[in-house]
Structure formats: structure tokens, C-alpha cells
Amino acid sequence: MKRIAFAAVFAASLLTSLPVLAHTPPPSVAGTPVPSLAPIIKRVSPAIVNVSTRGHVQVQQQNPFMNDPFFQQFFGGRGGAGGPVERKFQSLGSGVIVDAEKGYVLTNNHVIENADKITVTLVDNRSFDAKVVGKDPDTDVALLEILKKPSDLTAITLGDSDKLQVGDFVVAIGNPFGLNHTVTAGIVSALGRDGVEDSKFQSFIQTDASINPGNSGGALIDLNGDLVGINTAILSRTGGNIGIGFAIPVNMAHNVMDQLIKYGKVQRGVLGITIQNMTPEIAQGLGMGQATGVVVTQVQPGSEAEKAGIKAGDVITTLNGMPVTSNSGLTSTLGVMRVGSEVSIGIVRGGKPMTVKATIGKPTEGESDESDDELMHGLAVSNLDKTSPLYGQVQGVVITGVADDSDAADAGLREGDVIVAVNRQQVKTVEEFRKAAAAAKDGSLFLTVRRGEQMFYVSLGG
């Protein structure tokens, strides 16, 4: 009661002593007029759209009795999942027009995932059908094209997310809870955040601009009205905003978009290195004055990194002139570079800075997520590496692609599921997965799959 009473008295005193601040913004700060965001919002709002989807998704039936430990022990852990059931769904999200002439709209992959029909609604309430140009689940980026597009579309200007600093003012625009063109403002709370959601490559912008369900795919803009991020996730125990939201940096989204336009997908390459975050202890051991950059702990023989002269113990400090501050930041930047791209890498070796040139190489066997094996039944899989949020929590191979009209799609499998066993044989790598699949006598696969915290079984082929 004392705290409440003191707070009430203090608040009343503050409102009495500062009547202007309590009701209206000050006319100026340090002699500079306080600006309004209204002109910026008016200019960029036509480029922000509502994205609504309809589709079908297959989910596994769960037997509620199998939540009882007695039944789990009696059945030996079997029978917890029933067959797949198809359900209809509708969802709402946001998007940003990035090319008015071609009708291109950037959004999140999870906004349009499993969609059979996509509708884009403009700020003036005109609606148009749209199709998917390409999508990249690893970055949660998708590119749409408005069909039968009008001639008066407005595109947003793409900014430079590499120039953002913590404390910069930003504005989020989207459609939270179906409330079209809601505008919220805040600051950049942090940069390079990772471990936020299931996407593989993460280096998020964190902001306290209010972001809620439905904002996904919407715009995060700076005070010039330039797009600096695509709003994608929130951290919340209630499902609503608590002041911690995340956006994909526009530079990453732009890189992905370019590849989706040119090639229909993102072809990722590798350098062939294993890296570790720098710590003060490691910096001291390496004779560095401050703990900046990331440490190379291993270089694969014959890799592009080895050809470039990179060695274990090197500290990578820059990539194409931009500072490298974390594993996730370097991995995310490299993860959207196409095979054959040339990069300039700043390293420190023995306390001496130097620069090397390297070429992004093709993934080796086990790193690639490409597979045309008929036994895969429309699945593309890859190893769980250190960039995955599931790394160290589960052993298996992660599904990175599910072909339309395939056995895998019919069974309800989806990207992000982890296959932990094939025909009751545990698999930890893509190579083990392929060997187990090839050993199937009749070509049928009985998969043990983990999705989130749930385990279930799927039978393919046969």
C-alpha cells in the first residue's frame, strides 16, 4: 500500500508541476521543433499491404490417453499419434510492395506457408490475387507477385540496415489482429539478435515499436521512410506485445529477394569453416586487445577457406568491409550469398590484421539439401548444424523442403520437422538417412518425426 500511495502522490505532483508535458508534446527540444511522423506515414502507407491466405494443412491426430504415463508405458511409447487429418485454415499478415512495376511484395514465409489462395489488399481497400514467386524458409522471407496489378501501385524505398544503430527511431506498419495499417513507433533496441525463432539464418533487428500477431511481413521503416526491416516475430508469454519485437534486416531480405527473382530459390554456398564466438578469455589467449570478431576453430581440407589461406586460430573481424561481431551475424550474412560470390574477409592472425579474398563454394555431400532420390518421397533434408536452434537438443536431419503433390506432402510433413529415425533406425546425418532409406526392401519408409515437443510416426511409400 505504501508503494501505491507514494506512486500516486508522485504522479500527481509530476502532473501538477509539468502540465505541458502531461498533455501535449513540447513545441521544441533544444531549440529544434518536434517533428510529426504524419507526412512519412502518409507517403509510405500505400506500399504497405494486408496479406490474407486460405489453405489446407495436414495435422497428426493425437490420442489424449497417450499423455498418461501408464498408457505410454503399456504401449511402449507407440500409438501416440493417429493418422494425418486435413484441416482448412485462414490467416492474416502484412506485406510491403518493393517493385510497383512488377507488383512484387515482400512478406514472411510463415505468412503464406501452405496457402492455396493469397489475397493482397491495398490501403484503399482494393484487393488482388497474388502468387508466390519464391520463398526461403531458412530466412523466413517470401516474395509475392500481384496478379492483374493496377498501374498506380506505390513501392517503398529500400534503406540500408547495416547503417542502423541502437537507439535509432523506427516505425512499424502492419495489420495486427486484422487492424489495417496500424502504426507504432519506437527505437532500435538491439542488433544481430539470434535464437529467436525457427528460421536457420538469424540476425534480427530488435525493436520496442509495438509488433503483434498480424504484423508479420510488414514494414519497419526509419525516419526517412525507408524500409529497414521486415517485421517477423515477437517475444511474449501472452501472445501480445511486451515491447520486444524482431525484424529481418532489409539487406538480408533484399539479397534473398534478388535470388528468388533470378533463380526461384536461394542457392547457398559455404566457406568451409567452423567458428566460435569471441570471449575476453579467448582474446587474451590469442593476444588480442579486445574481444571482437569470431574465431576460426576448424578449416575443412580442400575448402574455399583453405584455398584463401584461412587457418584455425584466425579471428574474422570483417566481411566485405562490414564488422563481424558474432557467429550468427557471420553465418546469416554468408547464408544468403550465392555460390560463386567473391568476398573480402578481414582477419587477425598473431595480432596482425590482414585481408584475404575467398569464393563461396558449393556445399559438399551432407551439407547440401538437394536430393532427387525417389526413396526420399519428395523430401529435401539437411544436417542439423550449429546455426540451427535445435542443435544440441535433438539428433536427426531437418526437413528443408517438401515437394508439392508428394508422398511427404500428403502425409503432412513440413519444413522444419526433424526426422530422428528411418524404419526404426536412428539417423543423425543426411548420409545415414540416405543409407537407411536405400536399405528399405520395398521402398517404404517408416519415419519417426519430431515437431516442436511432439513425436509422431509417418509412413511413406510401399
DSSP string spanning 283-337? Answer: HHHTT-SS--SEEEEEE-TTSHHHHTT--TT-EEEEETTEE---HHHHHHHHHTS
Q: Which domains can be identified in the chain, with CATH numbers? A: 50-146 (2.40.10.10), 161-263 (2.40.10.10), 273-359 (2.30.42.10), 374-460 (2.30.42.10)
Write down the pLDDT at residue 374: 34
Q: CB neighbours of 6 closer than 8 A, spacing ≥ 6?
A: none
Catalytic residue, chosen from 94, 216, 382, 388, is: 216
Instruction: Choose the weakest-confidence range: 136-145, 160-169, 315-324, 438-447.
Output: 438-447
Instruction: Choose the weakest-confidence range: 86-95, 204-213, 241-250.
Output: 86-95
With a pLDDT cut of 90, the percent of the chain lying above it is 21
The C-alpha cell of 91 is what? 490467416
Write down the pLDDT at residue 370: 34
Write down the pLDDT at residue 99: 94
Model confidence band, residue 188 (pLDDT cutoffs 50, 70, 90): very high
Give CA–CA dist 261/201, Å, rounded: 20
Is residue 127 predicted with pLDDT exceeding 70?
yes
Is residue 155 predicted with pLDDT exceeding 90?
yes
Query: What is the rounded average pLDDT of the residues 345-368?
Result: 77
> Is 110 a residue of the active site?
yes
Write down the pLDDT at residue 388: 62
Is residue 121 predicted with pLDDT exceeding 80?
yes
pLDDT greater at residue 422 or residue 106: 106
Cβ 96 vs Cβ 156: under 8 Å: yes
Task: Select the highest-mean-pLDDT range: 77-91, 139-153, 226-240, 259-273.
Answer: 139-153
Write down the pLDDT at residue 5: 34
CA torsion, points 413, 415, 418, 422, in degrees to nearest 10? Answer: 50
Phi/psi at 213 (nearest 5 deg)? -55, 130
Write down the pLDDT at residue 455: 77
Task: Select the highest-mean-pLDDT range: 102-116, 182-196, 230-244, 330-344.
Answer: 102-116
Query: What is the rounded average pLDDT of the residues 257-279?
Result: 81
Cβ 147 vs Cβ 269: under 8 Å: no
Model confidence band, residue 451 (pLDDT cutoffs 50, 70, 90): confident
Give CA–CA dist 133/101, Å, rounded: 15
**Mean predicted lDDT score pLDDT of the chain:** 78
Query: What is the rounded average pLDDT of the residues 121-150?
Result: 91
Give residue-wise pLDDT tens across range 215-253.
Answer: 889 999 999 999 999 998 877 666 666 778 899 999 989
Give CA–CA dist 315/283, Å, rounded: 9
Is residue 415 predicted with pLDDT exceeding 90?
no
Model confidence band, residue 368 (pLDDT cutoffs 50, 70, 90): very low
Residue type, 142: A
CA distances to 131, 152, 253, 360 from 100, in Å: 15, 8, 17, 32
DSSP 270: B
Write down the pLDDT at residue 213: 82
Catalytic residue, chosen from 94, 110, 210, 326, is: 110
Instruction: Choose the weakest-confidence range: 9-23, 200-214, 234-248.
Output: 9-23
> Is 136 a residue of the active site?
no
Is residue 169 predicted with pLDDT exceeding 90?
yes
pLDDT greater at residue 9 or residue 239: 239
Query: What is the rounded average pLDDT of the residues 352-377?
Result: 62
Give CA–CA dist 443/344, Å, rounded: 47
Model confidence band, residue 15 (pLDDT cutoffs 50, 70, 90): very low
Write down the pLDDT at residue 257: 92
Give residue-wise pLDDT tens across range 304-351.
Answer: 888 988 988 888 988 888 888 777 778 777 877 777 888 899 988 888
Instruction: Choose the weakest-confidence range: 171-175, 185-189, 422-426.
Output: 422-426
Write down the pLDDT at residue 11: 37
Catalytic residue, chosen from 45, 91, 138, 140, is: 140
Give CA–CA dist 169/208, Å, rounded: 10
Write down the pLDDT at residue 9: 34
